[in-house]
Amino acid sequence: MTSSSLTPRANASSTAGWKRYFHWLTHMPWTWRIMLGYLIVMLLVPTLAMFTKAVTVGPAEFWRLATSPIALSAYDVTFTTSLIAALICGLFGTLIAWVLVRYDFPLKRLIDASIDLPFALPTAVAGLTLATVYSETGWIGSLFAPFGIKLAFNRIGVGIAMTFISLPFVVRTVQPVLMQAEKETEEAAWCLGASAWETFWRVQLPPLMPAILTGVALGFSRAVGEFGSTVIISSNTPFKDLIAPVLIFQQLEQYDYAGATVIGVVLLIISLFMLFVINFIQVWGKKYE
């Protein structure tokens, strides 16, 4: 879009840079106005409101609330379980991407399309059906119940829900890289006498690593924030399987705004940190392309 009238404004007191900036502000295209307005109202102001609330709590009280035993246990459950779920997705997601790109088998297109199911299925439905299937009387849970293994309403259940929602991130980041992978290097390795395993481990896997790590980081950060599916399959017992987002929710229900805000800020900072990590991995990965 154009804001093409470049006639400088007569404003002697300000520098040329400021003048141009001011001119741009007042002559901003309306697309920019809508975008910035929306971002400010929907995103910036709410984020500021939360940080302001956190500041009014005061540093000592902030630290006390952020490191209370129940909060520490909630972080532990959230981050450990998310990490395990993301790593499981890293392993199986890479395998699934590999199988979908390299092999042909019946119903492949359908299976490929179904990978996005966790994106499309509302999380409440995911939680409901996972809780049913993995409960002691459910289709899968009943197979494990005789061995005394409970798969739902504990940390394992939370992990299952997190694995479900994180899986597409890994598959969908690895798949395109695998499709572009050059067959020639593999063929060269083969011809030089490398075994299939060596070829995979030394030649095929290294270029995939940035994509796998990006997928794992994306899945991890999604799992950390997940609420809908995890709240249903968890028993939400403090110090056992209570995750941080559920803790925020419970504190809000008790009108404990300060407590909720503090945990919320902690989660937000970790989300921002994860964004940074993901960007870093992608920049690092580009170097190796």
Partner 1 sequence: MSRADSSPPSLPPAPGKLASGKKQSWVPPVLIGISLLFLGLFLYIPALNVFVQAFRKGVGPFLENLTEPDFLHAVKLTLLIAAIAVPLNTIFGLCTAWALARKRFPGRTLLLSIMDLPFAISPVVAGLMIVLLYGRQGWFGEWLQDHNVRIIFAFPGMVLATMFVSMPFVAREVIPVLEEEGVDQEEAAHTLGANHWQTFWRVTIPNIRWGLLYGIILTNARSMGEFGAVSVVSGNITGKTQTLPLFVEEAYKQYDTEAAYSAAVLLALLAVVTLVLKEILERKTGGVRKRGH
Q: Shortest Cβ distance from residue 10 to partner 1 (Å)? A: 26
Q: Shortest Cβ distance from residue 13 to partner 1 (Å)? A: 25
Torsion of CA 89, 92, 95, 97, to 10 degrees: -40
DSSP string, 150-163: --SSSHHHHHHHHH
Given the complex with partner 1, which of 13 and 92 has the nearer CB atom?
A: 92
Nearest CA-CA partner of 132 in 152, 146, 117? 152
Q: Shortest Cβ distance from residue 2 to partner 1 (Å)? A: 9
The sign one gets for the Cα dihedral 56, 60, 63, 68 is: negative
For the chain, what is the total number of helices (H) and then of strands (E)?
16, 0
Q: What is the DSSP letter of 203?
A: I
Nearest CA-CA partner of 99 in 171, 15, 180? 171
Given the complex with partner 1, which of 81 and 163 has the nearer CB atom?
A: 163
Given the complex with partner 1, which of 46 and 58 has the nearer CB atom?
A: 46
Given the complex with partner 1, which of 10 and 113 has the nearer CB atom?
A: 113
Q: Shortest Cβ distance from residue 261 to partner 1 (Å)? A: 7
Q: Shortest Cβ distance from residue 12 to partner 1 (Å)? A: 27
Q: Do 67 and 204 touch, CB atoms closer than 8 A?
A: no
Q: Shortest Cβ distance from residue 58 to partner 1 (Å)? A: 16
Given the complex with partner 1, which of 13 and 254 has the nearer CB atom?
A: 254
Gap between the Cα atoms of 72 and 74, Å rounded = 5
Gap between the Cα atoms of 25 and 257, Å rounded = 37
Given the complex with partner 1, which of 77 and 160 has the nearer CB atom?
A: 160
Q: Do 206 and 285 touch, CB atoms closer than 8 A?
A: no
